[in-house]
């Protein structure tokens, strides 16, 4: 794992990204320029994340949809997902025509619990999507063992975890494939965008075709989305060997993302430094409990999160209000559990092709997640100046002291 000295401050977007974007614009989008920036980005991403293949996408939801479809997961299948994460994970399952089935979370790490996964498996289960929540990977070793036993596809959702590690393996290289997001709040960004990594060449080719309108000429290798003029101008050319979507990343986004990739270690390290400031402020407070990081794991801290365990004279909103009054930024609450969002709540989906089996989304499906979600305090780590972050950590310490911590 590389060791990077943390700068006191840095810019989110630098002259490097600006220069790359100008090079794309200077090319006038000539087709001869091809997908050069996309190819360079994919090569760099595959190298950093120890994967043979990296395929770029327009966003980090299309990535999940494409990977599931390429793995043959669709109507008649169930996909096991955690409830504590962005609903996009489950929406992508529905986009693929499958049904999300929610497994509960570990009460200490807040990641999907392998024991609960095992309990949810049925003959209709086709895949598992473990989410590296807040920047921490779940127990991938146990999950891969379960998947091997039941012949299930494992797609890591690593939208919140860049350069995290799980027992010596970089997160994004453990499952059969992994999905990353470049949305604006993530460790690296191109405004929007995403990436899928895999070591399976056939799967990579199917993913590439799914995101490129099913074109025959594309393949899994970095930059293999380019179709030559000799091919495209042939009147007998049969272009589409399968049905696909247009999920390709634009060259402008690829240029920005490449600049971010080349700075990824410093972008991650400053978030970890901010998290360390919060951790120092929380240390010794027995009613603010941080996310547990198991031995052998490296957390990348997309956000720093604690659980408020005080059930006395003040509550979640009281703590947030006082923190803001003392100089802190707003604290984010955890997402509503996906199956309790209005789009899912009290609805039923057919599980498999038989109308005798239905998945109903209602309270009680994941008791641990339901008891935890209302009490999570999510603190921003995307401060690019540690002096600002220090002031926020000081405000947190004063807030804890105010409430008797």
Nearest to 382 by CA among 226, 210, 236, 184: 184
Helices 251-261 and 15-26, axial angle in degrees (round to 10): 150
pLDDT of 281 above 70: yes
| Strand 169-170, strand 165-166: pairing | antiparallel
**Average pLDDT, whole number, for the chain?**
93
User: What is the C-alpha to C-alpha distance for residues 251 and 273, in angstroms, rounded to an integer?
Assistant: 32
Buried b (16+ CB within 10 A) or exposed e, 186-213: bbbbbebbbbbbbebeebbbbbbbbbbb
pLDDT of 355 above 60: no
Helix (H) or strand (E) holding 126: strand 125-128
Q: What is the largest CA-CA distance in the chain?
A: 77
Interval 218-236 mean pLDDT: 73
- CATH architecture for segment(s) 265-402: Alpha-Beta Complex (3.90)
pLDDT of 232 above 90: no
The secondary structure of residue 250, as a DSSP letter, is P
Helices 264-282 and 251-261, axial angle in degrees (round to 10): 60
Helix (H) or strand (E) holding 371: helix 367-372
Sign of CA dihedral 242, 246, 247, 248: positive
How is the chain split among helix, strand and coil, in percent rounded to 5? 35, 15, 45
pLDDT of 227 above 70: no
Q: Are 126 and 77 in contact (CB under 8 A)?
A: yes
Q: Quickly state the pLDDT bin for 40 (edges 50, 70, 90).
A: very high
Cα 125-201-155 angle, rounded to 5 deg: 30
Higher-scoring residue by pLDDT: 11, 219:
11
User: What is the C-alpha to C-alpha distance for residues 307 and 299, in angstroms, rounded to an integer?
Assistant: 17
Of 76-85, 135-144, 175-184, 227-236, minimum mean pLDDT range: 227-236
pLDDT of 389 above 50: yes
For position 70, what pLDDT does the model report? 98
User: What is the C-alpha to C-alpha distance for residues 162 and 270, in angstroms, rounded to an integer?
Assistant: 13
Give all strands of the β-sheet with 376-380 in edge-to-edge order. Answer: 288-290, 303-308, 376-380, 332-333
Q: Are 162 and 136 in contact (CB under 8 A)?
A: no
For position 311, what pLDDT does the model report? 66
For position 231, what pLDDT does the model report? 74
pLDDT of 356 above 60: no
pLDDT of 144 above 80: yes
User: What is the C-alpha to C-alpha distance for residues 105 and 348, in angstroms, rounded to an integer?
Assistant: 22
pLDDT of 247 above 60: yes
For position 352, what pLDDT does the model report? 61
Nearest to 133 by CA among 153, 101, 103, 168: 103
Burial of 65 (0-12, 13-18, 19+ CB in 10 A): buried
Nearest to 332 by CA among 294, 266, 382: 382
For position 285, what pLDDT does the model report? 96
**Does 1.10.10.10 match the CATH number of domain 15-263?**
no
Q: Are 373 and 356 in contact (CB under 8 A)?
A: no
Q: Where are the domains of the chain?
A: 15-263, 265-402
The secondary structure of residue 384, as a DSSP letter, is S
Q: Quickly state the pLDDT bin for 313 (edges 50, 70, 90).
A: confident
């Amino acid at each position: 794992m590389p060791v990077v000295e943390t700068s006191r401050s840095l810019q989110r977007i630098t002259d490097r990204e600006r220069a790359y974007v100008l090079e794309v614009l200077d090319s006038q989008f000539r087709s001869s320029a091809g997908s050069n920036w996309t190819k360079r980005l994919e090569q760099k991403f595959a190298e950093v994340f120890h994967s043979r293949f990296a395929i770029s996408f327009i966003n980090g939801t299309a990535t999940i949809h494409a990977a599931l479809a390429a793995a043959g997961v669709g109507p008649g299948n169930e996909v096991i997902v955690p409830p504590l994460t962005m609903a996009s994970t489950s929406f992508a399952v529905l986009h693929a025509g499958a049904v999300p089935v929610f497994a509960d979370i570990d009460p200490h790490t807040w990641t999907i619990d392998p024991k609960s996964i095992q309990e949810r498996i049925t003959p209709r289960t086709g895949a598992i999507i473990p989410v590296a929540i807040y920047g921490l990977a779940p127990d991938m070793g146990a999950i891969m063992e379960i998947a091997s036993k039941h012949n299930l596809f494992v797609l890591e959702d690593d939208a919140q975890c860049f350069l995290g590690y799980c027992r010596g393996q970089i997160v994004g290289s453990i499952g059969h494939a992994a999905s990353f997001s470049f949305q604006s709040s993530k460790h690296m960004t191109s405004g929007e965008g995403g990436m899928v990594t895999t070591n399976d060449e056939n799967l990579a080719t199917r993913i590439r075709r799914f995101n490129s309108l099913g074109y025959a000429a594309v393949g899994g290798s970095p930059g293999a989305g380019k179709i030559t003029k000799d091919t495209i101008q042939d009147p007998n050319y049969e272009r589409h060997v399968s049905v696909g979507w247009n999920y390709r990343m634009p060259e402008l986004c690829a240029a920005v993302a490449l600049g971010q990739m080349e700075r990824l270690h410093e972008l991650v390290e400053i978030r970890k430094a901010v998290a360390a400031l919060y951790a120092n402020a929380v240390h010794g407070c027995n009613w603010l409990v941080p996310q547990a990081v198991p031995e052998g794991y490296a957390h990348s801290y997309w956000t720093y999160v604690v659980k408020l365990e005080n059930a006395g004279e003040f509550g979640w909103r009281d703590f947030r209000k006082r923190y803001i009054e003392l100089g802190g930024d707003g604290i984010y609450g955890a997402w509503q559990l996906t199956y309790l969002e209005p789009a899912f709540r009290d609805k039923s989906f057919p599980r498999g092709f038989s109308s005798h089996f239905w998945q109903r989304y209602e309270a009680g499906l994941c008791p641990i997640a339901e008891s935890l979600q209302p009490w999570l305090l999510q603190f921003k780590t995307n401060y690019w100046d540690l002096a600002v972050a220090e002031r926020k950590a000081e405000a947190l310490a004063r807030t804890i002291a105010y409430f008797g911590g």
